[in-house]
Amino acid sequence: MTTSGIGYDVHRFAENRPLVLGGVEIPHDRGLDGHSDADVLCHAIADAILGAAGERDIGHFFPNTDESIRGISSLEILRRAREVLTTRAIRILNVDATLIAEEPKISPHLDAMKTALAEALALPADRIGIKATTNEGMGFVGRGEGIAALAVASVERS
């Protein structure tokens, strides 16, 4: 049986933090605020794959009250979410995601993101879609206050 899940995440910009998206550090004057590296793309994907498996969200598995995971790489969050599925004999088929940001330009980093995500998810890179768009100047994203991401994932259950 094939099932699908969706994920959404958003983080506000913060000073003195690196900007990490899709496991790739992107040159920018601000990073994103969060308990982990605040990688909105990885977080949305993790929620999508967990949702497709009928699991709870990443906040359940990686609570922001757990000091032992402060600063954790979101690629590690993806690996651990994939392991949750593996223990239930659930295989990820594909992931499609969209980053929503006014800045920085995402397209120069898409190939590196796909490579990093493919490794973390144990998927061929051609089963991962990543797109980027702006919010046309509207809302908190449009004002440059943060970045959002949406993802959908399909999985196969034995």
Domains and CATH numbers, the chain: 2-157 (3.30.1330.50)
Spell 78-116 as b/e; 16+ CB within 10 A means b: bebbbebbeeeebebbbbbbbbbbbebebeebbeebbeb
Q: Read off the pLDDT of residues 2-47 as tens digits, 9 standing for 90 and up.
A: 999 999 999 999 999 999 999 999 999 999 999 999 999 999 999 9
The set of residues, in sequence order, having a beta carbon less than 8 Å from that of 58 and lying 6+ positions away, is 43, 46, 47, 50, 77, 81
Backbone angles phi, psi at 134, to 5 degrees: -105, 175
Whole-number pLDDT of residue 81: 97
Whole-number pLDDT of residue 122: 97
Q: Read off the pLDDT of residues 54-101 as tens digits, 9 standing for 90 and up.
A: 999 999 999 999 999 999 999 999 999 999 999 999 999 999 999 999
**Tokens matching residue 34:** 């969060």
Whether residue 158 has pLDDT greater than 90: no
